Amino acid sequence: MEMSDYIIMTDSSCDLPAKLADELELTVLPLTVYVDDVKYVNYLDEREIAFSEIYAKLRTKCPAKTSAVNMQDFLEPMEAHLKAGEDVLYLGFSSGLSSTYNAGAAAAAELAKKYPERRIYAVDTLCASMGQGLLVYLAVLEKRKGKTIEQVRDYVEDTKLHLCHWFTIEDLMFLKRGGRVSAATAIVGSMLSIKPVMHVDDEGHLIKVDTARGRKASIRALADEAEKRGVDLQHQTVFISHGDCIDDANYLADIMRERFHVKEVVISYVGPVIGAHSGPGTVALFFLGTSR
C-alpha cells in the first residue's frame, strides 16, 4: 500500500503547535472546554480564543470544565477520509484521563462495518498533551519511511509505554479541584512552596511521584528524570509543554540542551482542555525512555 493511502488522525489534546500539525498532515478533532460557562473549541491554531486568554481567565479563578466528545463527533471526519479512499489510523487521548479514545474507537468500529473494504484502526496512546503529540509525531515519521498503516499502528503500540511524561504544577489548588491531592496537602504545599513532580503511568493516569522545594528545583527534577530514563537523548527531539509560562519552559529547554545535547526541542502550550485541570504554571517534559 502506498503511504498516501492512509491518514493519521488525533485529537486536540495532543497540544501540538498548529504549524507542526499542518506540516505532519494530521487530521485533528478539536475538543471543547467551558471556562466561566462559556464554550470554547480547542483548535490548535487558537482561532476561537488565544490560549493566553484562557490562562488569564484561569488565573482569576474562573470555573473551568471539559466536555466529553461522543462517537458522533468522530464519525463525520473519519468517514470523509474513508469515502475518499483513504484508510484511517486514529491515535487517541489516554483512556486513563478521558473518554475521548473510547468514543473514537466506537466510531472506528461502527465505520469498519460500513466500509469493510477499508482499514480503520484506533490506538489508545495512554498519552496526554505533548506526550500524545510526540507519539503522533513519531508515527508520522514512520509513515514517511513508507511503513504501512499496520506497521505504524504496531510501532505506536510498541512505543507508547516508552513515551515518558514528567511534569510539575505551579498551583496545587488546581490539582485539589481535580481530586489529585487533598485540600490539606494543597494548602500546606502552597504555604511551603512545595511543588509536586508527577508523571503519566503505564495505565495513562496522572501519578504524583515526588516533591521539590521551589519552582526551579521542580523543573530541574524533570531533567533528572530524563537522565535516569532517557535513551540516546542526544539524538532525540524532545517536547516541552507549558501552562502560559514560556520562561520556565525555556529554562527547561536550556537544561536539556546543555546537559544532554538533545537534537531538538519543540515547545508549545498545554492546551485549554488539559490546562483547565492542570492550571497556569504547568511545565511538562516528554521524551523516549526505558520505561515511563
All domains of the chain in start order, with CATH: 3-160 (3.40.50.10170), 162-288 (3.30.1180.10)
Residue 263 banded pLDDT, cuts 50, 70, 90? very high
pLDDT of residue 35: 94
The overall pTM is greater than 0.85: yes
- Whether 280 and 173 have beta carbons less than 8 Å apart is answered as no
Beta carbons within 8 Å of 191's beta carbon, 6+ residues apart? none
Residues in the chain: 292
More confident site: 193 or 203: 203
**pLDDT of res. 208:** 82
Of residues 76, 74, 120, the one with CA closest to residue 93:
74
User: 217 with 190: CB under 8 angstroms?
Assistant: no
pLDDT-derived band at 189 (thresholds 50, 70, 90) equals low
- Which residue matches cell numbers 512505543? 159
Average pLDDT over residues 35-59: 95
Q: For cell 489529585, name the residue.
A: 180
pLDDT at site 207: 86
DSSP state of 281: T
- Summarize the confidence of residues 11-27 as an average pLDDT: 98
Rg (CA), the chain: 19
User: What's the rounded mean pLDDT across residues 190-194?
Assistant: 69
Neighbours of 14 (CB within 10 A): 29
- Please, what is the average pLDDT of the chain? 93
Q: Which of 30, 57, 28 is nearest to 244 (CA)?
A: 57
Sign, CA torsion 215/169/197/134: negative
Cα 200 from chain centroid (whole Å): 11
- pLDDT tens sequence across 104-134: 999 999 999 999 999 999 999 999 999 999 9
pLDDT band at 213 (very low <50, low <70, confident <90, very high): confident
> What is the C-alpha separation between 172 and 132, in angstroms, rounded?
24
